[in-house]
Amino acid sequence: MWSQKWVIGNWKMNGRLQNNNALMHRFRILPAADKVTIGLAAPTVYLLQLHNAMQIVLNNRILTCSQDVSRFPGNGAYTGEVSAEMMADIGVDIVLIGHSERSLYFGEKNEIQRQKMENVLAVGLTPLLCVGESLQEREENKAKEVIAHQLSILAGLNTKNIAVAYEPVWAIGTGKVATIEQIAEMHEFIYQQILSLCGSDVRIRVLYGGSVNAGNAADIFAVPCVDGALVGGASLSYDSFTSIINAAQ
Ligand code: PEP
């Protein structure tokens, strides 16, 4: 059980300079959240804006998170890519890896995710690996098998800190939230899997993601082994996002 939960907002492909700025200024009045670590994952093009605002306006009270990173390290002839080194250079703290939208639209699978994890760890940033089953996989009773396969990339990584977001694909952006029983069962399973893959001395954090909102956050945070939330749609609204942060206290 962690003393601080993580609440990470994932803006996905949303935002504009002016709106982002206005939102950052609103966050100045966010009440002190001692029991919560807050992060925002903006589109890559806005990460520097976000990081500067965190430093200048928000006294670093919110972490800068990236929604993705290149599978290739350093520099090189990889047009359109942004490496983990570049993320570190501009002050990113946490990097999401393997979001289901990356596998759905860009065909990302385990091998690529593993490379990304290694690159992010190599430059000292924190990877947040997203895992989750589709509706069909759940209905076919394969949810645990699928998640065990996704988590298998964690074996042998050079870290003792593992952060994972359990995001059932059928609950992302659909308004359908996993039941408290489903969340408890899967989080417990994920903890056990990570312990057996990475050893008993590993420090584990498992967030839940999938239609978390102001109305359901408190119940979700009360579930054992829920160490925070990855919030998509609701993170775009100041009021919803701050209600979720307050529920995590
Ligand atoms: C997400 O994008 O990771 C997510 C959980 O989205 P939403 O909260 O909108 O379901």
The mean pLDDT value of the chain amounts to: 95
Task: Compute the average pLDDT of residues 67-75.
Answer: 98
In degrees and rounded to multiples of 5, residue 208 shows phi and psi of -105, 140
Provide the pLDDT for residue 29: 74
Provide the pLDDT for residue 236: 94
Task: Compute the average pLDDT of residues 186-211.
Answer: 97
Provide the pLDDT for residue 225: 94
Q: Please list every protein residue whose CB sits less than 6 Å from any atom of ligand 1.
A: 10, 12, 167, 172-173, 209-212, 230-234
Catalytic residue among 51, 99, 118, 133: 99
Is 70 exceeded by the pLDDT of residue 74? yes
pLDDT band at 57 (very low <50, low <70, confident <90, very high): confident
* pTM to 2 decimal places: 0.96
Is 90 exceeded by the pLDDT of residue 243? yes
Is 80 exceeded by the pLDDT of residue 30? no
Structure tokens at 182: 């489903």
187 is catalytic: no
Q: Which of 7, 12, 131 to mutate to test the pocket of ligand 1 (most atoms within 8 A of CB)?
A: 12
Q: Which domains does the chain have, with CATH numbers?
A: 5-247 (3.20.20.70)
Provide the pLDDT for residue 32: 66
pLDDT band at 189 (very low <50, low <70, confident <90, very high): very high
pLDDT in tens, 85-131: 999 999 999 999 999 999 999 999 999 999 999 999 999 999 999 99
Compute CA 48 distance to the chain's CA centroid, rounded to the nearest angstrom. Answer: 19
Task: Compute the average pLDDT of residues 46-55.
Answer: 92
Span from the CA of 201 to the centroid of ligand 1 (angstroms) = 30
pLDDT in tens, 168-182: 999 998 988 899 999
Residue type, 121: L
Is 90 exceeded by the pLDDT of residue 220? yes
Is 80 exceeded by the pLDDT of residue 59? no
Provide the pLDDT for residue 31: 66
* Nearest alpha carbon, ligand 1 atom 7: 232
Distance CA 95, CA 113 (A): 12
Task: Compute the average pLDDT of residues 135-145.
Answer: 96
